[in-house]
């Protein structure tokens, strides 16, 4: 009862005084708000491009469609102020906590699931980011639910749903494009050990994961989504020059280790 009370209290506080804490837009929130308002009112991004796939704000990472279009619908209903954009994040985060509960319960018990959600609810990084109008936190929401459907059964519909949700996670935030592919081999092994192997279900999962990601792969290969990566990568020529290193293998290994 005490744990559930803390979870519910944190859930209420997640939506409390979103217009005052923090005051005003963060720069990432402001660019996102402008983007979704343009989309909701005119069907364009801030650069007058009609219904784009990604929304380039000309700094950082382009806003993903899996965030921008739902956020535009949300703000069209509830308004275009900072607190409403933050409320969309808080709502999404709450849905993610529910997914985390069901995911944990698959492997352990109700009590363990409640403890897990409690920790996730009061975790400083989790609580703070759940009150800011960022797109990045949605990758955890999609990942939790994707893992839940993948692990729930070998039914085709569960595996297809898992593939679609993990594809949404890949779109949501660039780091997921590294950790989800790295996670998949271990996920396959765990699933085969728990439930056996179904060729039909696995084919459905792979297709539902890969097909929606074709535009994402194309834009990554073309470099359209790589601006931020190129700026912060340890292979960036400007960065290597600034620390008097080259792109040679020994230098890159040394820079990687130092970082």
pLDDT tens per residue, range 176-198: 988 999 999 999 998 888 888 88
Among candidate residues 187, 101, 105, 106, the one with its CA nearest the CA of residue 141: 101
> What is the CA 205 to chain-centroid distance, rounded?
19
Q: Count of CB atoms within 10 A of residue 97's CB?
A: 22
Radius of gyration of the chain from Cα atoms? 20
> b/e per residue, 119-158, with b = 16+ CB within 10 A?
ebbeeeebbeebbbbbbbbbbbbbbbbbbbbbbbebebeb
Round to whole Å and give the CA distance between 247 and 14.
45
The answer to whether the pTM exceeds 0.85 is yes
Instruction: Give the whole-number percent of the chain exceeding pLDDT 90.
Output: 61
Predicted confidence band of residue 170 (pLDDT cuts 50, 70, 90): very high
pLDDT digits (tens, 9 = 90+) for 7-41: 999 999 999 998 888 788 888 888 888 999 999 99
Task: Note whether 33 and 133 are within 8 A (CB).
Answer: yes
Place of tokens 């008097």: 244
Per-residue tokens: 182: 């790295």
pLDDT digits (tens, 9 = 90+) for 73-128: 999 999 888 899 999 999 999 999 999 999 999 999 999 999 999 999 999 888 98
DSSP state of 44: B
| DSSP E strand stretches across 128-212 | none
**Does residue 226 sit in helix, strand or coil?**
coil
Question: Averaged over 54-70, what is the pLDDT?
Answer: 89
């Amino acid at each position: 009862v005490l744990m559930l009370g803390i979870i519910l209290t944190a859930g209420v506080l997640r939506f409390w005084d979103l217009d005052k804490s923090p005051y005003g837009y963060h720069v990432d929130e402001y660019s996102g708000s402008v983007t979704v308002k343009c989309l909701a009112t005119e069907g364009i991004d801030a650069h007058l491009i009609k219904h784009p796939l990604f929304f380039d704000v000309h700094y950082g990472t382009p806003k993903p469609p899996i965030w921008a279009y739902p956020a535009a619908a949300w703000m069209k209903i509830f308004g275009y102020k900072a607190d409403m954009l933050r409320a969309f994040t808080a709502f999404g985060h709450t849905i993610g906590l529910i997914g985390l509960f069901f995911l944990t319960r698959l492997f352990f018990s109700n009590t363990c699931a409640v403890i897990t959600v409690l920790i996730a609810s009061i975790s400083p990084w989790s609580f703070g980011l759940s009150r800011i109008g960022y797109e990045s936190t949605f990758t955890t929401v999609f990942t939790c639910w994707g893992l839940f459907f993948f692990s729930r059964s070998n039914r085709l519909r569960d595996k297809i749903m898992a593939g679609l949700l993990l594809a949404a996670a890949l779109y949501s935030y660039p780091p997921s494009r590294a950790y989800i592919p790295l996670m998949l081999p271990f996920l396959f092994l765990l699933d085969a050990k728990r439930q056996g192997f179904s060729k039909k279900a696995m084919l459905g999962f792979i297709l539902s994961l890969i097909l929606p990601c074709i535009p994402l792969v194309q834009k990554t290969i073309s470099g359209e989504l790589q601006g931020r990566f190129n700026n912060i990568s340890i292979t960036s020529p400007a960065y290597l020059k600034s620390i008097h290193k080259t792109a040679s293998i020994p230098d890159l290994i040394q820079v990687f280790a130092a970082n």
